[in-house]
A and B are shown apart, each in its own frame.
Chain A
């Protein structure tokens, strides 16, 4: 019996699923496109709602993958369905015959420069949520070059929610699920970093759905004095001192507001990973209108694709929080296990 399982993507979903499958006695081959494991998690500093260091979560994940064969800097070149198994050719020349393929290709951050009116890549002091995490992560590193976009002593800082999410004009109607909590978390963190600064959050509505998320929101207002303004930012301009003039509407008071900021953080949402979609197109996996892969159904078989032997875990089937992703990874491992019984 062929006990090979290929896991595509070495982020949290891929790592956790690989570890579980390895435990169950399968030969797991993990394929990662970049040169390090951990995906977006490896670049993150702290995690909501309690500010757990991302590194500790990543270390736990990595500690469990002993025995998993993984290839870094390797891409999937072709996937062919043979009788019942898949023949996968990798860019390093290795060919693997596997009965099951688990797609854990995750998400790409929405390219914030596409929302040009916010000035990412055009104005000097506009960054994304990911840029801010890298900034937080690099503070401990004395060698690191500080991000020139972040002023030394910012007095006014703004966060824009829903950048590339819930925005039909840009072609993404879906909610990216994690940005609300991330924004509130980052707002608190930046307030800790620059206690003298005023911090504003421009939001449509706050989706603080998870356990303790609401508390985080209340804490942000009470303990950190973050100012929440309900209304989308319409446009951002840069004045002669390179400060950012943000125009928005405060929909609670029904008045337009104009704020001058030193730093603007865009909460870029999630879209299906481009590399993942490429693999998907090799086996003609269906994607839904939001660009993420379609599951076999919407309730019962979330880990199954419409093709036998192809499974999903994590954000490749829609935006997910990290805990959700890890649940899915474990569920996927079990689903693969049940499927593999057919071959015994």
Chain B
């Protein structure tokens, strides 16, 4: 290959250069802004992450898998994954190969930004071209990959369900301009390279097109206009990029660096959150994920629109959506970019000052739990465990009763921390953005737990469980949800269960599943007792029961619709029982379910193999059957 244009410049590169320079300046300013708003210790963390080989490796892997290959989308919806990956990875490869070509054949042009982009225009074949054939092939191949992705993207606009998306985002005006530019870039590049292929050479795609055009078009006359068009469209795309969803292309990689460095959302609009906001690709996967969207009227509350309003600083809408969200976390779990919209919503809620008066005087009246003499006997060799039912479990006394029976059956001495009334774990306040108010409760609870002197804390409510694990300083105390604890007891042989022919479906509570990643323990317990059938959506994709404490404004009519939708997904395989592990889910489902709903602890007590006092446990059983 050798240079065809000796100056190495043509006016048509100007639109591209204008766009590129503008974008670079914009990104630089944005970068400085974000770094400025990140708190000092976090900035230090970020700096340190660049010298930590483990984090560097993770950064590289995440950027490759998430930004370029979109592995996360691939796993759920292969065709949708291909669409995203083909454009992202294909484009990336074309840029990389473009630079390699420049470095190999025209090293004197290294460093010229536009040169690799318009390489074919500036070079011509010579007798050494055979060495370049390999790159010609790669360039054409990746161009074809991108074009196939663009074709899918166009088809998705018409019929999104074909790619596995029931609903897709409504693009804003700027997004539309960006979208059409993006669609036009690569077909124009193909045209430009095809017209030029007679001079610069080409491969399986551009060469035949060049021959084809030669039959009825004068290729030479079309070379320059198509390169102009290509450059103009590319330049426009770069120029509008800061105002469109395509900001996610540069931001996503940056977000990965920040996240891997261990940064967290502290403010709803600035610093880390800003990186998250701009990293949202507006792909719309959260639209199908959101349980509120069982009704079309609620589409406007989806995370994608929340982020859009954050970008536009529309405070009224931001607050409305932040308060409406159930905080079930499904959109976060499924988000291909990993935008923690729930954390941003929480941060947003905390910005709203309500002037509420908090009365903590009752905290002083609570005294540490006495040892439970009735349930400690000589034969018990285990250390006592501490059981904390939580407010929600007090509203579903069937669960705490079942837990007591399980402790008895396994001969485990226990202390019931809040048997005669306790205080809230603090999570509802935190979800409402009242972090400071919650701290008082956290402090008092910590004191009570420490005073009980047990080294295992068993909880029945996933809401408490999550907050105890994440926000409490309880070092030295093992914190277990009762699903984990019961599974432990079964594994150690302390509990024996009868195998029945009943079929169970398990509902993953948001806070236990997506919130604390406990998916397998309850399923292992159920497999011991009967046949575990699958729900239509489960684990990460489990649908909120509708009763979530997370939402501050969602009304009961809408909640009931969510509950029914969730129940429909659960009863997909016609189970005999729906089993859950959260008192709130239990209560919410029980009001609507056609099938009997039980907590896993209740199901376990129903199937306990009588170890001692068969008569006593027999009467208990009939009571539960009522």
Contact = CB atoms under 8 A, between A and B. Distances in A.
Partners in one complex: yes
A169 B591 contact: yes
Given A122-B623, A168-B556, A169-B556, A117 B591 contact: no
Interface in B568-626: 586-587, 590-592, 623, 626
Interface string B443-475: 000000000000000000000000000000000
A238 B397 contact: yes
Contact of B590 (A114, A119, A235, A237): A114
A119 B394 CA distance: 10
B560 A171 contact: yes
B132 interface: no
Nearest to A258: B421
A116 B395 contact: yes
A113 interface: yes
A143 to B, nearest CB: 23
B160 interface: no
A116 B396 contact: yes
Interface string A168-181: 11110000000000
Contact of B398 (A116, A169, A171, A245): A116
Contacts of A245: 420
A233 B561 CA distance: 27
A240 B397 contact: no
A116 B397 contact: yes
B592 A235 contact: no
A122 B591 contact: no
B556 A122 contact: no
B556 A235 contact: no
A119 B396 CA distance: 8
A274 to B, nearest CB: 11
Contacts of B586: 116
Interface residues of A, number: 20
B6 interface: no
Nearest to B560: A171
Contacts of B397: 116-117, 119, 122-123, 235-238
Contacts of B401: 122
- Which of B420, B591, B592, B623: most chain A Cβ within 10 A? B591
B395 A235 contact: yes
Contact of B626 (A121, A171, A247): A121
B374 interface: yes
A235 B586 CA distance: 16
Interface string A109-128: 00001101101011100000
A240 to B, nearest CB: 7
A87 B458 CA distance: 60
A236 B398 CA distance: 12
Nearest to A289: B557
- Interface of B, helix, strand, loop or mixed by DSSP: helix
Nearest to B590: A114
Contacts of B587: 116, 169
Contacts of A122: 397-398, 401, 623
A171 B591 contact: yes
A171 B623 contact: no
A117 B374 contact: no
Nearest to A124: B623
A168 B557 CA distance: 9
A237 B591 CA distance: 20
A261 to B, nearest CB: 15
B623 A121 contact: yes
A344 to B, nearest CB: 45
A190 B130 CA distance: 104
A171 B587 CA distance: 12
Interface in A221-248: 234-238, 240, 245, 247
Contacts of B626: 113, 121
Contacts of A236: 397
Contact of A117 (B394, B421, B560): B394
Contacts of A123: 397
Given A116-B396, A235-B394, A240 B374 contact: yes
Interface string A236-274: 111010000101000000000000000000000000000
Contacts of B395: 116-117, 234-235
Nearest to B556: A168
A169 B560 CA distance: 9
Interface in B362-411: 374, 394-398, 401
Nearest to B593: A114
Contact of B592 (A113, A171, A237): A171
A170 B394 contact: no
A235 B626 CA distance: 20
Interface string B558-569: 001000000000
A171 B394 CA distance: 20
Contacts of A247: 421
Contact of B394 (A121, A168, A169, A237): A237
Interface string B273-306: 0000000000000000000000000000000000
A255 to B, nearest CB: 12
Contact of B591 (A121, A170, A235, A240): A170
B623 A114 contact: no
A234 B421 CA distance: 12
A116 B590 contact: yes
Nearest to B391: A235
B397 to A, nearest CB: 5
Nearest to B399: A116
A303 B503 CA distance: 44
A267 B445 CA distance: 36
A168 B547 CA distance: 12
Nearest to B389: A237
A236 to B, nearest CB: 7
Contacts of A238: 397
Chain B CB within 10 A, most for which of A121, A171, A245: A171
A92 B419 CA distance: 54
Contacts of A114: 590-591
A104 B620 CA distance: 39
A134 to B, nearest CB: 15
A116 B420 CA distance: 18
B624 to A, nearest CB: 8
Contacts of B374: 240
A119 B624 CA distance: 11
A234 B395 CA distance: 8
A221 to B, nearest CB: 30
Interface in A98-115: 113-114
Contacts of A121: 623, 626
Contacts of A240: 374
B123 to A, nearest CB: 72
Nearest to B586: A116
Contacts of A237: 394, 397, 419-420
Contacts of B560: 171
A146 B590 CA distance: 30
Interface in A183-236: 234-236
Interface in B478-529: none
B584 to A, nearest CB: 11
Nearest to B564: A171
B396 A117 contact: yes
A29 B380 CA distance: 67
26 contacts: A113-B626, A114-B590, A114-B591, A116-B396, A116-B397, A116-B398, A116-B586, A117-B394, A117-B395, A117-B397, A121-B623, A122-B397, A122-B401, A123-B397, A169-B556, A169-B591, A170-B591, A171-B560, A171-B591, A171-B592, A235-B395, A236-B397, A237-B397, A237-B419, A245-B420, A247-B421
9 shortest interchain CB distances as A-B pairs: A117-B395, A168-B556, A121-B626, A116-B396, A170-B591, A171-B591, A235-B394, A122-B398, A122-B397
Interface of B: 374, 394-398, 401, 419-421, 556, 560, 586-587, 590-592, 623, 626
Given A116-B395, A171-B560, 17 more contacts: A113-B626, A114-B591, A116-B396, A116-B586, A123-B397, A168-B556, A169-B556, A169-B591, A171-B591, A171-B592, A234-B395, A235-B394, A237-B419, A237-B420, A238-B397, A245-B420, A247-B421
